[in-house]
Structure 1
């Protein structure tokens, strides 16, 4: 029916009505909070480009994790800053690596039982050159080797599962890494450990603050030869299809807001659990606007996350997780 019999504003008149007919919802259990783990004790160093986020020693990270658990947040995504870096990313896969040590500490704390421990599987934080794989050099020319890098990535995933990771999340974008990780997990007794694949990770300008947080900026060149070209939606679907064929249990899109069309296309294409990562640049640009009074923090934060959910994400990795959980609670 047409106006005046049909008046869509009737269902917007009060907050109670708006709440009743709201189509898209956020809840704390669908939020994942990233943590940046560093060596030492009593370390809580604010990341200058990410207000409210910190590099944390394990004792401080446990406090942060307990807060997340009390707020009902679904899980943590763990990144590590090793004491030393080398060209074999040793700190990523050794048994006493920073994330492995943290996982064991988290798993021994019963207050954290409700929190999923998701371990990012990448080599960039642990490589002396800051790239996500092994470098082959020929004079001034260099190349990121795919297959030798995949070997280390699979070794890292198995090490993280040994330490107690509930889910491993490869973010490197090397070809074939999901199949290699699945094989490494299965042969090391971790048949039940899911793989959350960063199935379409784009070479994005929005990762800048993260590189400060994780001390992972490439020392030369960039990552465009392995992370995806932001212009390519169809290629993203091919990446997703390949990861599913190789055994991915869950998918993660990264970044989120500049790529909402990719999230929607992925949701329409497959029925695996699908997440999106609201990355550091998305967080930091909003924080900058909040500090200048240009945006209303609570409304902008919630609207940004609702847009990601509306596009089709089942869960969201976000640095706003604690703030949102407090509002929802």
Structure 2
């Protein structure tokens, strides 16, 4: 390869049009999935203090919200529900009249072309805040993996019946994808894809989400089922198992502290669509620093989203989706 002064890479950076032509990674509204929090009630739009610009919405607000999202070019939303009543098994999660089921129907009526994904888990719906049925094992309470699979299937099928376009299980139960695929297919929903939270880490970055979804555990933590942040190779085992069980899309969560994992998963499975979740704590840090005047929110947020795409993610779940669309459009 010719060396300096013959080779001058700055030549490709001098003109903005040249920079644009040689740009390797691009951001588009079509890359984003916007998370939404929905709750029972009427005419409520409750600000989430730790996530500025995000709200808990009652179902009657979803039509206008869905039309705005679709108008920005965002192709998909993912729904998280806050039930009116919680119990030990999170029964609202699989009720035909559950909050997520109502939300799916409202969005599909208002914006039929907007893809509606649903988070399939129980932490928002249980009175103990864990992601399934809790039993006392080995002298301490823990989530019963196999018992939880049964109610996860009930939840997923109820979401599909309500009109969900894609199921996104996040509980990190072993055998979860196989159970859901079997359950959905058995009810005639073999056409519904599954986006697996295949590599979901036990992360401190989920704090603001737990405020938004009212899902903080009432005892212990989730380290017995979510992944250890120290482990990278284990993520490859998790995603390989989920693919064998029938996952259609993979996900790494969180994104920014796990860019290496996103890269490794994409290198191992380049043919499989890969999502990354730019989680609440990552969003909140940018918002807080921007509010203090320490950073330029637009430039930092877009740079972070670009880094997630550059690492290998095909789509990004992000609370910055609306603003990012406006920034990319120059508004």
TM-score bracket for the superposition, by shorter chain length: over 0.9
Q: TM-score, normalised by structure 1?
A: 0.98
Worse-superposed segment, 279-288 or 5-14: 5-14
Partner of 1:256: 255
In structure 2, how many angstroms separate the alpha carbons of the residues matched to 1:6 and 1:141?
A: 64
Gaps of 5+ in 2: none
How far does residue 62 in structure 1 lie from its aligned partner after superposition? Answer: 2.2
Moved more, 193-202 or 139-148: 139-148
Aligned to 2:174: 175
Q: Deviations over 1:51-106 (max 9, x none)?
A: 11100011212222211100000200100000000011101000000010111111
CA-to-aligned-CA distance 1:190-228 (integer Å, 9 cap, x gap): 010000000000000000000000000000000000000
Q: Which residue of 2 aligns with 1:307?
A: 307
- Which residue is 1:267 aligned to? 266
Counterpart in the other structure of 1:63: 64
1:101-128 per-position Cα deviation (integer Å, ceiling 9, x unaligned) = 111111122xx23311000000000000
CA distance in 1, matches of 2:65, 2:229: 34
Aligned-partner Cα distance in 1 for 2:208–2:106: 27
Task: Map 1:4-43 to 2 at 5 A.
Answer: 4-43=5-44
Distance in 2, matches of 1:139 and 1:7, equals 64
SS in 2 for 1:108: helix
Q: CA deviation at 1:14?
A: 2.2
Q: How many equivalent residue pairs?
A: 327
Matches of residues 123-142 of structure 1 in structure 2 within 5 Å?
Answer: 123-137=122-136, 141-142=140-141
Moved segments of 4+, more than 2 Å: 137-140
Distance 1:138 1:191 in 2: 35
Note the C-alpha offset of 1:140: 6.3
Is structure 2 residue 143 aligned with structure 1 residue 144? yes
2:287 is matched with 287
The alpha-carbon distance between structure 1 residues 138 and 24, as it changes in their structure 2 partners (threshold 3 A), is: closer
Q: Is the 8 A contact 2:255 2:262 kept in 1?
A: yes
- Residues 168-193 of structure 1, C-alpha deviation per residue, up to 9 Å, x if partnerless? 00000000010000011001110100
The reply to whether residue 189 of structure 1 matches residue 188 of structure 2 is yes
**Aligned counterpart, 1:227:** 226
Q: Is the 8 A contact 1:35 1:61 kept in 2?
A: no
Task: Mark the runs of 5 or more structure 1 residues left unpaired by the alignment.
Answer: none
Cα drift, residue 30 of structure 1: 1.4
Q: Distance in 1 between matches of 2:165 and 2:328?
A: 26
Alignment TM-score, normalising by the size of structure 2: 0.97
Provide the alpha-carbon RMSD of the alignment. 1.1
